Amino acid sequence: MVKKNEDQQVSAVRRAKHGWILTLFFSLLTIFYMYPIFLVLINSFKKKGFIMKSPFALPDGRSFFGLRNFISGIEKTNFFGAISNSVIITVGSVAAIILFTSMCAWYITRVQNQFTKSVYMLCLFSMIVPFQMVMFPLSKLANMMKLSNPIGIIFVYLGFGAGLAVFMFCGFVKSIPLEIEEAAMIDGCTPLQTFFQIVFPIMKPTVITVAILQAMWIWNDYLLPYLVLDLKKYKTVPIVIQYLKGGYGAVDWGTMMAMLVLAIIPIIIFYAACQKYIIEGVVAGAVKG
């Protein structure tokens, strides 16, 4: 009995030691990943000349430029118009992806036949097709179908985001006991009522996980809006920031840094509010293959 207690104490000491090592390692890793964001933040308050001269130094009396970089960037880029376009595209695309792919995944999982298996395989296949293979036909098709606007591009994002979302939702639906749905059917629920009143609320962790992953991708995406949207009328945040780069490689670094800070604030707030659900949703979706 004494030996068992000693072994438990030794094991606890080892776990504590390993815990400190892991904590130190991941703390250093966090600093490593956060440092570029910190550099963008401090340089957004500097004058242009000091950014190139001493990019790693904190703003001082000579280099501090206040909020003038932010004001200048907003005026040059029509930032509020761009951010409204980005919000419309991101919110609309994420909502469409969650709604349609969750219903599709539920149908694929519960109705086992050759058709649903084929649909599932097509969704998985869409995840491995390089975007470069389809970007030029996609641009032409979007133009022909009048999708070159913030509402039309939502359908494009739905197609590109469906693969991962269906895969995650299918994994989660397999972990939901079928008896719950059968009980709802016995009580008189239609298939739509069963899905929206019973299944969809249970899928909350995976819904939030998919929403976070898709929102981060769509908000920061540059290439797809650049290819699809009519840039004379509509620009997203990444596009207007890129437009700050002038001819012959000239860049107003202060203004660009300020706009980058404004661009990442909304998605950081969204991620911070929902990040606790990511691991829960991923693990829940991986319970059954």
Window from 104-108, 227-231, 283-287 with minimum mean pLDDT = 283-287
pLDDT of residue 166: 93
Mean pLDDT of the chain: 83
Determine the average pLDDT of the residues in 74-99.
91
41 has pLDDT over 80 = yes
Angle formed at CA 87 by CA 82 and CA 88, multiple of 5 degrees: 100
Structure tokens at 96: 């469409």
- What confidence category does residue 12 fall into, taking pLDDT thresholds of 50, 70 and 90? low
Query: How far is residue 253's CA from residue 241's CA, in Å, rounded to a whole number?
Result: 11
pLDDT of residue 287: 47
pLDDT of residue 78: 84
Window from 126-140, 200-214, 231-245, 267-281 with minimum mean pLDDT = 267-281
Determine the average pLDDT of the residues in 101-106.
94
Percent over 70 (pLDDT), the chain: 88
End-to-end CA distance of the chain: 43
- What confidence category does residue 105 fall into, taking pLDDT thresholds of 50, 70 and 90? very high
pLDDT of residue 58: 84
pLDDT, tens digit (0-9, with 9 covering 90-100), for 199-250:
998 888 889 889 988 998 999 999 899 989 988 889 999 998 888 876 556 7
Point out which residues pair with 46 in neighbouring strands: 64
Assess contact for 164 and 213: CB atoms under 8 A.
yes
Alpha-carbon distances, residue 155 vs 82, 148, 243 (angstroms): 19, 11, 26
Structure tokens at 71: 């004001």
- What confidence category does residue 26 fall into, taking pLDDT thresholds of 50, 70 and 90? confident
pLDDT of residue 51: 82
97 has pLDDT over 90 = yes
Helices 204-220 & 253-274 angle (0-180, nearest 10)? 170
**Hey, what amino acid is at 161?**
G
182 has pLDDT over 90 = no
- What confidence category does residue 15 fall into, taking pLDDT thresholds of 50, 70 and 90? low
Alpha-carbon distances, residue 68 vs 48, 65, 75, 149 (angstroms): 11, 6, 11, 32
